[in-house]
Amino acid sequence: MTARRILAALLAGLVMICTGAGAEPAGPMTQRETETAAGAPGESETAAGAPGEVPAAGATGRSAFIVRETEGEAEISRDITALCTLTAGAKGATLKRCLDRNYKTYWRSVNGAKAWIEVSVPEGETAGGVSVQWHEHPHAWSLQTADGTGKWETVGLTEGRYLAEWLELPEGTTRFRVANAPGERRHFNLTEIRIWSAGETPKEVQRWRPPAEKADLMLLVTHSDDEVLWFGGTLPTYAGERDKVCQVCMLVPGGGFRRLELLDSLWTCGVKNYPVWGGMSDAYTDSLRKQYGRWSRERVNNLVTGWIRRFRPDVLITHDVNGEYGHGGHQVCADAAMQSVELASSIQKFPRTAKEYGTWDVKKCYLHLWEENPVEMDWDQPLNAFGGKTSLEVAREAFRCHTSQQRTHYRVRDEGPNSCRLFGLYRSLVGPDEAGNDFFEHLE
């Protein structure tokens, strides 16, 4: 029996704890060719140590989760990683790489039967679940516990669709393994692992829903960190506070650590639907023409048109036509959006995605800094979902999740020529904005 069939059979027989609120199952991710997981490799594995034990290191603060308080009287699960003992099936000498809270390092397992990490919980504690972060999109993996005879049995299983994942453990678990799914023998690259005590799962633990079947808002950006640098309180306001389905689509996937930083940022903003990435290589140019010389115009339009048809957003928001500070990749994003909102409604254009998803006509499209039909957003209102913080404050917290960018000059700025408050209504099927302070004006 193939690994895929074994996985399907086990999935049918297990009660799984899936990503996302309400135990929503992960849906199929189509259009794989436009959602590449390829990126620049991080630190490579150099030492193939013998199996050994590693007492888990405490968090050093290098990865940047933003924790919001959880209300209610239920006991909140605690991060007990530092109290646990971890043993690798092989390469134990480098296991500390998935415990250092550094997204630029990762532990690479061996292939085959020894591709596992065993976790022993100290006396007086039980493990309630495991959160993991991968260097690259993984294959199917599992949680296993030993039965009375010492045989390892699968108690949790996932197809490995997300770079950050969570699986729950049976009540009373004190010893378990993170391992390949039955029938799977490939190695995996694990950036971080965290073990949580029994209790209510903290809000900081990422439990992603699949990319949206129907988005309220689609944010089209070029790079990780653009989602808050240029769009400020958009995601905290609409995803976190107003509970809109917000789908983030990004042209450049970047390296593994940049994608993990992005996930931290989006989760901090209240986004729950997993982002998608295009396969564009990261390269700076200072003009639209030069950028299209690196990225085919046809390829980008095909990609963005496909995303619009797939996610069917009511509102599309993207970059400045001049690329904010002149970045050609940002200019391409804006240009592709302006073309694709027209292309997506025609069955003759890019017929493959028209057949797969149908056509779609976006009701409203906003461009950052667009001077016609201007809109100035108020990001200073306190948000209940974030304990009274403003959307601008949340956006700035989210930018701090991009730890690799903190020594740059980039900041979330709400004044000056590139203010994250300033937008313009480029296209509307519901008439011009009147109040000029809500992307969903005339849609609710």
Q: Is the pLDDT of residue 198 over 80?
A: yes
Q: Is the pLDDT of residue 11 over 50?
A: no
Q: Is the pLDDT of residue 428 over 90?
A: yes
pLDDT of residue 118: 98
Q: Is the pLDDT of residue 199 over 60?
A: yes
pLDDT of residue 55: 46
Number of Cβ within a 10 Å radius of residue 417: 10
Instruction: Tell me yes or no: is domain 1-19+76-208 CATH 2.60.120.260.
Output: yes
Region of residue 407 (phi > 0: left; psi between -120 and 50: alpha; otherwise: beta): alpha
Per domain, the residue ranges of the chain are 1-19+76-208, 217-428
pLDDT band for position 72 (cuts 50, 70, 90):
low
**Percent of the chain topping pLDDT 90:** 81
Reported as a single tens digit per residue, the pLDDT across 93-136 is 999 999 999 999 999 999 999 999 999 999 999 999 999 999 99
Short-list 391, 387, 388, CA closest to 379: 391
Question: How large is the average pLDDT for residues 136-153?
Answer: 93
pLDDT of residue 58: 38
Question: Mean of the per-residue pLDDT values for the chain?
Answer: 87
| Residues β-bridged to residue 424 | 367, 374
Name the burial class of residue 1, with classes exposed (0-12), middle (13-18) and buried (19+) by CB atoms within 10 angstroms of its CB.
Answer: exposed
pLDDT band for position 22 (cuts 50, 70, 90):
very low
Reported as a single tens digit per residue, the pLDDT across 349-363 is 999 999 999 999 999
Q: Is the pLDDT of residue 247 over 90?
A: yes
pLDDT of residue 74: 74
For the chain, helix, strand, coil in percent to 5 are: 25, 20, 50
Reported as a single tens digit per residue, the pLDDT across 262-292 is 999 999 999 999 999 999 999 899 999 999 9
Please give the CATH number for the structural domain made up of 217-428. Answer: 3.40.50.10320
pLDDT of residue 189: 96
Reported as a single tens digit per residue, the pLDDT across 398-410 is 999 999 999 999 9
